[in-house]
Amino acid sequence: MSLPIRNVAIIAHVDHGKTTLVDALLKQSGIFREGEDVPDCVMDSNALERERGITILSKNTAVRYKDTLINIVDTPGHADFGGEVERVLGMVDGCILIVDANEGPMPQTRFVLKKALEKGLRPIVVVNKIDRPNADPDVAIDKVFDLFVELGADDDQCDFTTLYASGLQGFAKASIDEEGVDMQPLFEAILHHVPPPAGDPNKPLQLQVTTLDYSDYLGRIIIGRIHNGVIQAGQQAVLYKDDGSIVKGKVSKLLGFEGLSRIEIAEASAGNIVAVAGFADANIGETISCPENPQALPLIRVDEPTLQMTFSVNDSPFAGQEGQYVTSRQLRDRLYRELETNVALRVEETDSAEKFLVSGRGELHLGILIETMRREGYEFQVSQPQVIYREVNGQPCEPFEYLVLDVQEDAVGSCIERLGQRKGEMQDMQVGANGRTQLEFVIPARGLIGFRGEFIRLTRGEGIMNHSFLEYRQLIGELETRYNGVMIAFEEGVATFYALKQAEDRGSFFISPGTKVYKGMIVGEHNRPQDLDLNVCKTKQLTNHRSATGDELVQLQTPVEMSLERALEYIGPDELVEVTPESIRLRKMKAKKLAKR
């Protein structure tokens, strides 16, 4: 007899403690050996996830509690990875909404909760980080209730169960006044408030593909939930494709989840989440069914991308020096391979064989793809991100974002002023007890391009900025998002200390002495609106005279470090970011015939 099952997803805003809470559930469930070295955020297995402290890919785990198998899906909190959230919510029957006791619901809380409510799920609300000094759980719960009402939740959904927790200390409790001991109250809440999976094991097999994985031994592995029927290892089955065609196949391997591992199983019935090998052509949203009576499930619908950029073969003077994969064929193959698992991404070919139009959910979504590719050895260049316009009811429309800033008091005025210049409209302003102010704006998505770097300067690195897609609204006027020109190298060579020191008063540099440069490469930001071409390779003329001040220690200002995200936000429409495994360079699309100054 199979175990009772509960399928639950964990959803939250970025950095509200989803993965840490899953760690606590896993530790209490006893899946780790005594004395085993368990890393923090054990579910964040991707190197980029560990570096950035965010969840990018949804992941499955399974634990046993009181003879019940609980399948847990850890989802990303950032709206740029909403495609991951949308497809996995179809695998579960309930969800745990985690909210920071200090911050309350944030923009991406709104996004993921909206998706859960649309699926008809009834969330369990966990107020996390109650052990922090500024925590105010009661205010957080009031804000969550207001958000439920605002998003159109029904009466049952608004009557949510609330728990108070600290993922870091490993406890959850039903009342704020109780003593927190362990995670048992959360396990009990899952058993009592998440319904068992619907589905009839006597009906024909229906398994929907929600995640794709790959193994060197098994090839493509599909992960999904069995909606109806029973699946067995070695059985014949068919894949119902999104175009209506049917492909015959065989279940070569059937795997279930236990803790962080996949274990081989003989069969699984309706309600289970399993991994299946044997279907090399399967894609997200398609259905595996029985050959005698194939029946397809509705395809998974994912929100359309809002941002696009051009990926092209690197044609700079330094092209091919640092990358392993540099040709248009290699770039094309890699981008189309990404489409197999990244459902929110779109790739289109252009009239040039060396350029591809790539559309995604936001700068972070596309930035993660670019960073992954450069770590794999790809060398290419990308253009400035552009918003995707649409026609709604015959009117040209553009995407708008919901933006929340948390800033210190002395930066409020400058932030409001800058966002006003970018056509942002302030919706709300709340002054906190800790001297910080929370500002809420609705702003065109293109008004946010390039704002993050400016925001860091305005708040001296102390501000917190979060935003998520709101809706398409009527197109507004022209926007000026960068007010300064750039400094451009006009010859190939190596930047010298002498040349950079001589031009230091003209602006701030992105490079340091010893950096190799070429004609048309952007080396810094000019103090004035126009671009300035510079000789950054000039050397000091040597004489046999010794200056009295020659031995004084002269220092350069620290150069501005251009990370990938910062470079993507910074460049203008006539500029490119050159991406290689070793370097991030900014350049003009075409090197002008520059006159020396």
Residues 183 and 268 in one domain: no
Q: What is the CATH number of the domain that holds 46?
A: 3.40.50.300
Look at 442 and 38; give whichever has higher pLDDT: 442
Find the mean pLDDT for residues 57-75. 77
Range 370-395 average pLDDT:
90
**Mean pLDDT along residues 58-66:** 75
Better-predicted residue by pLDDT, 433 or 66 = 66
Of 55 and 439, the structure prediction assigns the larger pLDDT to 439
Mean pLDDT (whole number) for 309-313? 93
Do 220 and 121 fall into the same domain? Answer: no
Task: With cut-offs at 50, 70 and 90, classify the pLDDT of residue 49.
Answer: very low
Residue that has been written with the tokens 């010859």 in this structure: 491
Q: Which long-range contacts (C-beta less than 8 Å, at least 24 apart) are formed by 214-222?
A: 215/277, 218/252, 218/253, 218/277, 219/277, 219/280, 220/277, 220/279, 220/280, 220/282, 221/253, 221/255, 221/275, 221/276, 221/277, 222/275, 222/276, 222/277, 222/279, 222/282, 222/288
Sheet holding 287-289, edge to edge: 246-250, 236-240, 287-289, 206-215, 219-228, 273-277, 253-258, 261-264
Whole-number pLDDT of residue 42: 41
Q: What is the pLDDT of residue 40?
A: 44
Q: State how far the Cα of 38 lies from the Cα of 257, in Å rounded to an integer.
A: 19
Q: The domain that contains 403 carries what CATH number? A: 3.30.70.240
Q: Are residues 493 and 469 in the same domain?
A: no
Whether residues 44 and 159 fall in one domain: yes
- More confident call, 259 vs 144: 144
More confident residue, 545 or 11: 11
Asked whether residue 415 falls in the same domain as residue 496, the answer is no
State residue 39's pLDDT score: 43
By mean pLDDT, which of 79-83, 246-250, 318-322 is the weakest? 79-83
Average pLDDT score over residue span 407-435:
86
Q: Are residues 142 and 11 in the same domain?
A: yes
Pairing of strands 161-166, 68-74: unpaired
Cα distances (angstroms) measured from residue 361 to each of 63, 385, 574: 33, 11, 23
Q: Is residue 200 part of a domain?
A: no
Give how many domains the chain has, as a whole number.
4
Last residue of a domain, one of 263, 289, 315: 289
Binding site members? 15-20, 128-131
Alpha-carbon distance of 452 to 444, in angstroms, equals: 14
Q: 411, 446, 474 — which closes off a domain?
A: 474
Question: Looking at per-residue confidence, does 41 or 418 come out higher?
Answer: 418
Proportion of the chain above pLDDT 70, given as a percent? 86
CATH number at residue 549: 2.40.50.250
Q: How far apart are CA 363 and CA 308, in angstroms?
A: 9
Q: Are residues 118 and 212 in the same domain?
A: no
Domain identity same for 109 and 31: yes
Report if residue 317 sits inside a domain. Answer: no
| Predicted confidence (pLDDT) at residue 302 exceeds the cutoff of 80 | no
What average pLDDT score do residues 386-401 get?
87
- Residue 312 is predicted with a pLDDT of 94
Q: Is 80 exceeded by the pLDDT of residue 111?
A: no
pLDDT of residue 80 exceeding 60: no
pLDDT of residue 362: 76
* pLDDT higher than 70, residue 86: no
Q: Is residue 357 part of a domain?
A: no
CA angle, residues 223, 228, 231, in degrees to nearest 5: 60
Question: Is the predicted pLDDT of residue 597 greater than 60, yes or no?
Answer: no
Q: What mean pLDDT, rounded, does the chain reach?
A: 81
User: 586 pLDDT exceeds 90?
Assistant: yes
Q: What is the pLDDT of residue 202?
A: 87
Q: Are 188 and 214 within one domain?
A: no
* 408-417: pLDDT as tens digits: 888 899 999 9
Residues 278 and 131 in one domain: no
**Domain stops at, among 193, 226, 254:** 193
| Mean pLDDT of the region 544-554 | 55
In the chain, the amino acid numbered 169 is Q
Query: Can you give the residue range of the structural domain that contains 12?
Result: 5-193
pLDDT for residue 37: 41
> Is the distance from CB of 425 to CB of 441 less than 8 angstroms?
yes
Instruction: State yes or no: pLDDT of 32 exceeds 50.
Output: no
Mean pLDDT over 303-316 rounds to 87
User: What is the predicted pLDDT for the residue at 592?
Assistant: 53
Please enumerate, by residue number, every residue annotated as part of a binding site for GTP: 15-20, 128-131
Q: Is the pLDDT of residue 31 over 80?
A: no
112 and 88, same structural domain?
Answer: yes
Same domain (yes/no): 505, 535: yes
User: Rounded CA gap, 436 and 424, in Å?
Assistant: 20
Q: How confident is the model at residue 544 (pLDDT cuts 50, 70, 90)?
A: low
Q: Does the structure show a pLDDT above 90 at 437? A: no
Is 327 a domain residue? Answer: no
CB neighbour list of residue 113: distance below 8 Å, 6 or more residues apart:
11, 97, 105, 123, 147, 148, 151
In this model, does residue 41 exceed pLDDT 60?
Answer: no
